[in-house]
Structure 1
Amino acid sequence: MKSQLINRAARSRVAQAGVTVIFAAALSACANYAGISSDRQMAQPQTYATEQSIPQDNGHWPAADWADQFGDAQLKALLAEALKGNPSVEQARARVAAAAAYSDTAKAATMPQLGATYSFTRQQFSSTALVPPPYAGSWQSENKGLLSASYDLDLWGKNREALKASLSQLQASQADAEVVGLTLTSSMARAYNQLARLYALRDIAQQEITQRERIDRITAGRIASGLDTHVERKTAQANLATSRATLAALDGSIVTTRYQLAALLGAGPDRGLAITRPALGVGDEVRLPENLPADLVSRRPDLVAAKWRVDALTHDVKEAKAEFYPDINLSAAIGLDAFGFGRFLTAASRTASAGPAIHLPIFDGGQLRAQLKGRYAEFDYAVATYNQTLVTALSEVATQLAQIRSTDQQLVDAEAAQDAARGADQLALTQYKAGLANQLTVLNADTTALAADQQVANLRMNRRDQQIALAVALGGGYADHADAANPATASAAAASAANTQPVVAAR
């Protein structure tokens, strides 16, 4: 007996060893991804030289209500209205919903599946085939009802990686929606500032008309006194007509800008006609926050979206690698199967099955390798896109800051020039009225004063426009609150994805 047990154990070990050898041989014959890899990595913001162009200034990141700094209640209401009803915002929300549904689908693949089926078949069996008498050659009604279950063991994490990729794509879609909202609000604020610019220029044009009407009256008096001729009168009238044409052009631009604002609101053009004159203030002092380059990657929605897409491709690569390994699916079914209805619900009609299904890729003509190469190419593209987005973001912050500082310096000189030009204009007009200067002197002084007023108005509006652009460049109050918001962690995950071995990306 003892020798029989020993022999049986020996045979069992031999059988197990044989199975192991066969399995190992099968794995060695499988398709493999040797030689397919990537060394691309997400850039770190600290690697770029920004100390001089983006100085730390003890400032704060813009809040979500950054537009409130200008103190215009109408602007605040318009921004809220735009975010509520604009079609582009609805499109972004629909894309987020689609990404969420895809994530739910990917999650379902990691769970056990349970289903029930029922079928009724009326069939005539062949008299010369496999079915024996008495059913051979007869018509029979087959009733079959089954309760089935299946579960993919996912030994290599294919389904889990697909789920992680879909969740990262969902995060990217949500960040994209924030990009759409920020783009819309900034476009709205800048168009609104343009409306304010046009009104300021209209005020200057109206003042110019009043001034040139006064010159025309003075010229008429000087003609009566013999000091001027009708040439000067015609010149004064021509300048007055030019000023009135400028005013009409500005009125037309104000109307078209209102239509533009209505379009941004997602409403008809009549909605723009109800917008009153802007009452924008100067805004807050411009000071950059500390640690800006490093924190910017979690403050700009476009950077966050690009980062999540790299993370998604990280998991896509791992999913593609898992395709090279055997796939084992467990399935079981239990139910009733009988000819006719009378015996369908009896114990004798019971049927059951259970067992594993194993898929082992051995030779596929290079399909799996091509698929992995494609995933790596997409990964490389996503990393390059992130790096380019980071470079663009840093450049935008530096550019807007430089423009604001330049505009502040220009304003000092422009306001000094405006005061001097206004004084010269009034003095020339007084001397012209007293007969101490000719009309050409007055017109030259008036033209200089007009240009100075326009320059100051444009510089002030430009600065506000640059403040809006800087707020947007700093993320417009957005912050990535996801677990992988740490840029160093995300970069490490992207770096690990470039390796050939499947490594779960850090979160």
Structure 2
Amino acid sequence: MPRGVSRLARPVLSTLVVAVLAGCANYAGIRSDRQMAQPGQYATTQSLPAEQGRWPAADWADQFGDAQLKALIAEALKDSPTLDKARARVAAAVAFSETANANTLPQVGAGYSWTRQRLTESTFIPPAFAGSWQSENKAFLGASYELDLWGKNREALRSAVSTVHASEAEAEQVRLTLTSAIARSYNELGRLYALLDIARDEVGQRTEVLRVARGRVKMGLDTEVELRTAEANLAAAQVSVSALEGNIQRTRYQLGALLGQGPDRGLAIARPTLGVRDEIHLPANLPADLVSRRPDIVAARWRVEATTHDIKVAKAEFYPDINLSAAIGLDAFGWGRFLRAASRTASAGPAIHLPIFDGGALRAQLKGRYAEFDFAVANYNDTLIQALTDVATQLADIRAVDAQLVNATRSDEAAQRALRLAMAQYQGGLTTQLTVLNAQTTALASSQVVTNLRMQRRDRQIALATALGGGYTETAQTAQTVETVAHTQQTAAAR
């Protein structure tokens, strides 16, 4: 090319390159202003008072002093299909992260092919081969590497690693939910046994009333009405016993399922011997530390982190991809010349792809990533609010049950004394059967109230331990402060 023409072509070429780049797909105007909430921005000082309690340990169920409960939880953690599903999801996330990591590394491959073909006589093939059948042998060793100038593959790897951490935290949440469900079902089994004791006592009391009624009828002190009433009341009490025995059977089956076993496993569970831990104190610095103590909050945070990197991947798609490739090998017709130096072949060079017009596909993809980011942030904020509310609710329930237990216990003691007096007077002929029945009804109800409140308090203790994370602590290798994650996602959203 003449020198003068070359001088004129260069600025024209530069102008064309700038024009092409200016017309390329871009992500102008696509962004998000969503931000992760901080624990301190929610009002919790009254509902979550500052106390000097401790966070629950991983063996929090031991506080109830029942060795069987501890053994059941260990069995469930070993054999539960629910946990197996969670572990499988973690394994899938790990495998995906390994694939993402492979995309950041050079790829090397080798191959061989043999082809039997008739060569055409109508092209550039020389007469010696044209129109003949030949066997072509090819062997090659090739390598390729994407320069990843814009960090697309690196961000994809970071997203995959964040997904692994999220899956691990979600598996811990499944574990915590399972252990909590076992403890609460076990406590329910204990409640049903306690109510069964009360119901059986009622059967004994009403059997005694029937015996006295029969004697009084014989002596002419009572009529057939009192006798039949005593019989009906005894039958009703026996119905209550049968109903409770059925509920105990059903709860045993539920426990067998939670253990990852068949229903017969539940039948082998002995009667619970749960104790009660009286003092309840919240741990210090609760709102701030809860974000690393609850696996569901940790998982939600890692999901935000993953979508942040996904946004960067989607943005990198707008820039050119540059791939380097090289290959060496042998290519020859027939076997005789295949391994000769003359059959050597080699190639090397870059490949560049630049999106110019894609009908808006890349912008739509980026909008989708931002939508996922907005959802992840909203899910994190909602999870944090629900966690704080959960802790406050369980604490309030425990305090309320404690207050109720004081009066309920006093009422039950008075009702039991009244029943004993009424029964003694009825046996001595000093009062009617109606008085005894009224006293029995009151005593039965008060005993049931006390029993239910005690079991409800223990159930709330279990729920509080769960609400505080059940002993979970984010490991040092995966821990990140909320501020760091928030800064990362805000920077990505602003770009």
Contact in 1 for aligned 2:311/2:492 (Cα 8 Å)? yes
Q: Quote the Cα distance in structure 1 between the aligned partners of 2:494 and 2:264.
A: 58
Give a deviation string over 1:353-373, Cα, whole Å, max 9, x none. Answer: 100000111111111001001
Unaligned runs of 5+ in 1: 1-7, 501-507
1:219 pairs, out of 205, 213, 216, with 213
Report which stretch shifted further, 105-114 or 16-25: 16-25
Compared with structure 1, are the counterparts of its residues 58 and 386 closer, same or farther at alpha carbon in structure 2 (3 Å cutoff)?
A: same
Matches of 1:111 and 1:17 in 2, distance apart?
A: 38
Letter in 1 for 2:58: A
Q: 2:180 aligns with which of 164, 172, 186?
A: 186
Residues 1:400 and 2:394 are matched in the alignment: yes
Which residue is equivalent to 1:172?
A: 166
Aligned-partner SS, 2:139: strand
User: In the superposition, relative to structure 1, how do residues 12 and 461 fare at CA in structure 2: closer, same or farther (>3 Å)?
Assistant: farther
Show CA shifts across 1:438-479 (max 9, x none): 111111011100000000000000001111111111111111
Q: Within the alignment, does 1:198 sit opposite 2:186 as a pair?
A: no
Amino acid at match of 2:84: E
Alignment correspondent of 1:282: 276
**2: CA distance between counterparts of 1:55 and 1:16?**
74
Q: 1:260-271 counterparts in 2 under 5 A? A: 260-271=254-265
Contact 1:165–1:311 (CA under 8 A) maintained in structure 2: yes
2:483 matched to 1:488? yes
Of residues 143, 154, 176, the one that matches 2:148 is: 154
Q: State the one-letter code of the partner of 2:463.
A: A
1:357 aligns with 2:357: no
Alpha-carbon distance change, 275 to 483 in structure 1, aligned in 2, over 3 angstroms:
closer
Q: CA deviation at 1:229?
A: 1.9
Is the CA contact 2:165–2:478 (under 8 Å) kept in the aligned structure 1?
no
Could you tell me which residue of structure 2 aligns to residue 5 of structure 1?
none
Task: Give, in angstroms, the shift of residue 88 of structure 1.
Answer: 1.1
Structure 2 distance, partners of 1:243, 1:490, is 61
**Does 1:463 pair with 2:425?**
no
* Structure 2 contact 196–244 (Cα < 8 Å) conserved: yes
* TM superposition shift of 1:284: 5.7
* Partner residue in 2 for 1:497: 492
Task: Give the partner amino acid of 1:174.
Answer: E
Q: Which amino acid aligns with 1:499?
A: A
Deviations 1:10-43 (A, max 9, x none): 9999999887665544322211000000000111
The one-letter amino acid paired with 1:83 is L
2:409 corresponds to: 415
Q: SS at 1:142's partner residue?
A: strand
Pair 21,354 (structure 1): closer, same or farther in 2 beyond 3 Å:
farther
CA deviation string 1:33-78 (max 9, x = no partner): 0000000011111110000011121111111111111111111111
List per-residue Cα deviations over 1:366-418 (Å, max 9, x = no partner): 11001001110111111111111111111111111111100000000000000
| TM-score, normalization by structure 2 | 0.96
CA contact (8 A) 1:38 1:376 kept: yes
- Paired with 2:14 and 2:346, the residues of 1 have a C-alpha distance of 30
Q: CA deviation at 1:138?
A: 1.5
How many angstroms does 1:140 deviate by? 1.3
State the one-letter code of the partner of 1:493: T
SS, match of residue 424 in structure 2: helix
- Give the alignment of 1:28-427 within 5 angstroms: 28-283=22-277, 285-427=279-421
- 1:318-346 Cα offsets, whole Å, 9 max, x none, are 00000000110000001111111111111
Separation of aligned partners in 1, 2:318 and 2:441: 78
Preserved CA contact (<8 Å) 1:62 1:477: yes
Superposed CA offset, 1:232-269 (max 9, x none): 12111111111111111111111111011111111111
Segments of structure 2 that go 5 or more residues without pairing to the other structure are none
More off after superposition, 277-286 vs 391-400: 277-286
Do 1:121 and 1:142's aligned partners in 2 also have CA atoms closer than 8 Å? yes
CA separation in 1, counterparts of 2:169 and 2:10? 53
Structure 1 residue identity aligned to 2:360: G
Closer, same or farther: CA 16–206 of 1 in aligned 2, 3 Å: farther
* Alignment partners' CA distance in 2, 1:100 and 1:448: 61
SS at match of 1:155: coil
**Aligned partners of 1:29, 1:99: CA distance in 2, in Å?**
38
Secondary structure, aligned partner of 2:96: helix
CA distance in 2, matches of 1:124, 1:362: 42
2:469 to 462, 470, 475: 475
Distance 1:150 1:26 in 2: 27
**Could you say which residue in structure 2 is the equivalent of 1:3?**
none
Report which stretch shifted further, 421-430 or 216-225. Answer: 216-225
Return the alpha-carbon distance in structure 2 between the equivalents of residues 13 and 255 of structure 1: 94
Residue 313 of structure 1 contacts residue 375 of structure 1 at CA under 8 Å; is this kept in 2?
A: yes
SS at match of 2:494: coil
Q: Tell me the CA shift for residue 493 of structure 1.
A: 2.0
**Match of 1:341, SS?**
coil
Distance 2:111 2:341 in 1: 19
Q: How far apart, CA to CA, are the structure 1 residues paired with 2:63 and 2:296?
A: 24
2:126 is paired with a residue of what secondary structure? coil
CA deviation after TM superposition for structure 1 residue 102, in Å: 0.2
Structure 2 letter corresponding to 1:494: Q
C-alpha distance in 2 between matches for 1:11 and 1:218: 127
1:128–1:14 CA distance, 2 compared to 1 (3 A): same
Deviation per CA, 1:197-242, whole angstroms, max 9, x where unpaired? 0000000011111111122222223233332222212111111111
Structure 1, 262-271 or 123-132: larger mean CA deviation: 123-132
